[in-house]
Amino acid sequence: MGVFTGERFSIPGALPRIILCTGKTVFISQPFDIFRAIIRGTARIIGGGMAHLEIELLLNLLDEAYNRAAWHGPNLRGSIRGLKAHEASLIPKSGRHNIWEIVVHCAYWKYAVRRRLTGEKRGSFSLPGSNWFARPIVQSEKAWRADMAILDDEHRLLRETVAKFPPELLNRRVHGNKSPARRLIAGIAFHDVYHAGQIQLIKKLLRAKGSR
């Protein structure tokens, strides 16, 4: 266990020093507590031989939200595991998005975050358009797998971008966004978790309708 006392936090032989922006003493027992303080802007990592700790924490957050086992239940990739094209294309209610559209929407925003982190120009997403995409164009297992592959590819590319991102720039605003890079990266992980929950609810709703 480490302790915030006054300004400095340390765990001997484990973590670098962290500056706390308030004088309050805080007890830390889990790495996620440190991450939470960093995201809220109440602490930041300085010096030491582990300058990439924040990057590792962000990568772990991205993975747990997407495809690594997480305590909260199904993540985004887990929520669509085993779904067939006809299930993904069912509309829960008029005017609502189906699961297929949510999947492509999530892929797009992984791309958008990556583009903002790298400063790339708009228009390089693998599909024409932005944000929401009407799906399916063709209702087939091949088309469904192709769009899931886009989601997988965009997660991989985002992860690679974050892994190479300079830790010293995490607190700076990124291209086309008012938020610092740190918050943007955390935000796209939370975006995955949000839509994973939405997909779980849609599946439950559709199954309830089917049982009537």
Residues 38-93: tens digit of each pLDDT: 555 554 544 444 447 889 999 999 999 999 988 888 999 999 999 999 999 999 88
Rg (the chain; Cα; Å): 20
pTM: 0.76
Percentage of the chain modeled with pLDDT above 70 = 75
In the chain, which residues fall in CATH 1.20.120.450? 52-210
Residue 18 has pLDDT above 90, yes or no: no
Cα–Cα distance, 131 to 141 (Å, whole number):
23
CATH of 52-210, one of 2.30.330.10, 3.90.1150.10, 1.10.10.10, 1.20.120.450: 1.20.120.450
pLDDT mean over 112-131: 91
**The pLDDT value given to residue 34:** 53
The sign one gets for the Cα dihedral 88, 106, 136, 156 is negative
pLDDT mean over 93-121: 94
Each residue's pLDDT tens digit, 177-200: 788 999 999 999 999 999 999 999
